[in-house]
Amino acid sequence: MARNEDTVAIAEAWNHGFGFIKTSIVKTAVELEIPDILQNHGTPISLPDLSSAVGCPTDRLHRVMRFLAHHGIFKRTGEGGPVCYAQTPISRSLTRDKLGPFVLLQGAVCVPNGCITAETLRTAKRPGVELSGSDGLYEDPVFYTKVFREAMASHARLTTTAVIENYREGFDGVRSLVDVGGSQGMALGMLVKAFPRIRGICLDLPEVVARASPLEGVEFVAGSMFESVPKADVVMLMFVLHNWSDKECVEILKRCKEAVPVGTGKVIIVDAILDEDGGGDEFTGARLGLDVTMMAVTFEGKERTYDEWAYILNEAGFRKHVVKNIKALEFVIEAYP
């Protein structure tokens, strides 16, 4: 699929936007003395052995090392066998007898709150903000209005534009669409405008829906996606499932599957798909950056590989799924009940 200049520019902007995350994760690796461990080990070290050496859960350390290997800090080895990590010229310079202490100083000054640290990686306690609940960001009007809502709206605008431009056939014959976790209707409003025959239903928590302004062609419904989803031809989940654990995603997907007609309906998931094999496209670095961001600000959220998506879709009972490339950070996954 051809890439235009706008797509490349957006990808580069995403990568630059995650620059502070890279600084944070490099600092964390130095805190954990990973460069020194590799130096002393002498040969590539397996992920379980590294996990034991630094005292971090394997799954979380894997996500950190995956990100750092993509950026050339470490080297991933073990094709066809156990995943191992080896030194690079950069990692050799990050030991405690070289630039490691300087990186720790730089990180202490420059890395913002809410990023991953050695302590949070070891304890699995996130340093970030609460994304929901009675004491969460919805109770903080300044943060909600000026930071989170505007960020989500801009992200939705960008991705929905890619959906409209590169996935038009996906809405052929669709008369009704539920946007689950659709916030104040940014994405759904754009879709209804682009496809006027569609009746839009925006489902979100009562405290979110209460702040929504009226949108032509959009009905706002207060509720919980864990309990029930309004019936429609199509149910869409945009940037929703990456907030939740596999178990919770399966429950959400089951409610969505119940809401669409068997044989003609589908569930559309708009989310990132990670490539762990070093391939991918110009958005690969941004997707990995988003993954470690999710680890910093959610309990169980993560970006998923294709196999991880297939697992939760199969567990939820979908008979098949198809991936569509929309030339954006996210993909469209069509799931059929």
Name the residues annotated as catalytic.
242
CA distance 230 to 263: 18
Strands 176-180 and 234-238: parallel
**CA–CA distance from 22 to each of 30, 103, 219, 321 (Å)?**
12, 12, 41, 33
CA distance 256 to 295: 25
**CA–CA distance from 198 to each of 109, 201, 221, 222, 264 (Å)?**
50, 10, 16, 20, 15
Strands 273-274 and 266-271: unpaired
Please give the single-letter amino acid code of residue 127: P
For residue 336, give the H/E element and its range: strand 331-336
Residue 72: φ, ψ to 5°: 80, 10
For residue 285, give the H/E element and its range: helix 284-297
Residue 176 and residue 207 in contact, taking contact as beta carbons nearer than 8 Å: no
Indicate left, alpha or beta for 139 from its phi (over 0: left) and psi (-120 to 50: alpha). Answer: alpha
Q: How many CA atoms lie within 13 A of 168 on its CB side?
A: 6
